[in-house]
Structure 1
Amino acid sequence: MSKSCQVLGTHASYGNSVSHSHRTTRRKFEANLQNKRYWVPSLGRRITLQVSAKGIKTIDRRGIESVVAELRARGELNI
């Protein structure tokens, strides 16, 4: 599985590290990914999602049922 949020699709981005003397070198900004288990009442079981911190807030706001329905429509979740 690639390192991206299953809900939002957030993934790593690239930029520069800037030192005190203002020299720049390339660096990678990783997404804040967490493995989180959610109880889905319609399925009657738990599912594990790899989501970013913002994705967790999105699930809290929209509800797990809505998010799971969207993931299944995209074909990202085969349950």
Structure 2
Amino acid sequence: MSRRCELTGKGPMTGNNVSHANNKTKRRFLPNLNDVTLQSETLGRGVKLRISAAALRSVDHRGGLDAFLAKAKDEELSAAALKVKKEIAKAQAAEA
């Protein structure tokens, strides 16, 4: 399981630990990932994703998973999220 957000593509970054004596050692800054189940209104079911806390706030801000995925760029999404996006688009097309 990779340490990458499935919705935003946010992943680990590198940097330095800096001691009081200004010694520098390499470290990793990991994203704050959470396993969540987001409800899709169009599909009428939950979708399990591993997303960052910032992405969870963004989903809430945009009005839910369906609205977030509609605006999201395909290259940022994971394979699972891309599959859900296509399912939602297909369901919305059939509904309209």
What TM-score bracket applies, with the shorter chain setting the length? Answer: 0.7 to 0.9
The structure that is strand-richer by fraction is 1
Q: Which residue of 1 aligns with 2:10?
A: 10
How much is the aligned-residue C-alpha RMSD, in angstroms?
A: 1.9
Point out the structure with the larger helix share. 2
Runs (4 or more) in structure 1 with deviation over 4 Å come to none
Aligned equivalents of 1:48 and 1:70: distance in 2? Answer: 19
Q: Which residue of 2 aligns with 1:65?
A: 66
Distance 2:53 2:39 in 1: 18
Identity %: 31
CA distance in 2, matches of 1:10, 1:47: 19
Q: TM-score, normalised by structure 2?
A: 0.70
Shift of 1:6: 1.4
Deviation at 1:18, TM superposition (A): 0.5
Match of 1:54 in 2: 54
- State the partner residue of 1:21: 21
Q: Aligned residue pairs: how many?
A: 78
Residue 69 of structure 1: CA displacement? Answer: 3.6
Query: Which 10-residue stretch deviates more, 31-40 or 59-68?
Result: 59-68
State the TM-score, normalized to the length of structure 1: 0.84
| C-alpha distance in 2 between matches for 1:2 and 1:67 | 22
Give the unaligned 5+ runs of structure 1.
none
